[in-house]
Amino acid sequence: MTMSKHPGTEFEPEAVAATPSWLGTRPRRMIAGGIVVALLVVLGVVLFGQFAPTANPGVSPGATPSSGAATESPAAPATATAAPVDGPAVPDVTPVPIEEPADVTPGLVAKVTKVEEVDGTARGPGEVAGPSLRVTVTMTNSTSSVVSLRTTVISCYFGADRTPAPELREPGGSPLPASLAANSAIDGVYIFTVPADQRGNVTLLVDYSVDVQPVVFQGDIADLL
């Protein structure tokens, strides 16, 4: 049996098999090309996000590095300063001659009993060695009760302006004890740095407590040397 061909038509089975049916028209080929391009763009964005270098390594996301931020300068080394002078300022009261006794409270008497010229020695923080006066203040209790001396402060000043004299501990300083027995006396020894040319006008302040008026001794220290 013989098959006949229609004129002008040819059957090409190999060509039909090589081209998928969904790419057989031009619009379908354009859609396929667009899909491929989109996939390539997405792949490029992913790869760029994984391997692209960051602008500022070591800075966490969201942190904004400050430009021109102030840096802390190293602290300056501390310098030694003189220790403040203990004791209150001299009150405006009539002074007692430096060689005479004075009543602190009824039955309690203070007196400067001895003054010595010494070379003051610096031992504690802020102390400065120099020509000094070692002053002995004697407290006498003539009452029948123990007297507290816990808050008693002895201070020294020199010159007409009453410049505070720094206090030292050495040689031989021994402040008053915390209390004074009945019918007894006790000495307190204090060392003050006073320039040699300022000893003609020395003020010693005995401040017993905040509710008792201080005693002020004043005069030429040479009267007691």
pTM exceeding the 0.85 threshold for the entire prediction: no
Residue 116's Cβ-count burial label (10 Å; 0-12, 13-18, 19+) is middle
CA 198 remoteness from chain centre: 37
Going by pLDDT thresholds of 50, 70 and 90, the confidence category of residue 90 is confident
Q: Where are the beta strands (DSSP E) in the chain?
A: 96-97, 102-105, 108-120, 130-141, 147-148, 153-158, 163-164, 167-168, 179-180, 184-193, 202-207, 215-219
Residue 69 pLDDT: 47
Going by pLDDT thresholds of 50, 70 and 90, the confidence category of residue 113 is very high
Type of residue at 92: D
- For residues 56-73, average pLDDT: 49
Tell which wins on pLDDT, 80 or 90: 90
Residue 95's Cβ-count burial label (10 Å; 0-12, 13-18, 19+) is middle
194, 127 contact by CB (below 8 A): no
Q: Which of 38-42, 68-72, 190-194 has the highest mean pLDDT?
A: 190-194
CA torsion 113-184-142-156 (nearest 10°) is 30
Long-range CB pairs of 156-160, under 8 A, 24+ apart, other chains included: 156/190, 156/192, 156/194, 156/202, 156/203, 156/204, 156/205, 157/90, 157/202, 157/203, 157/204, 157/205, 158/194, 158/195, 158/198, 158/199, 158/201, 158/202, 158/203, 159/198, 159/201, 160/201
Average pLDDT in the chain: 78
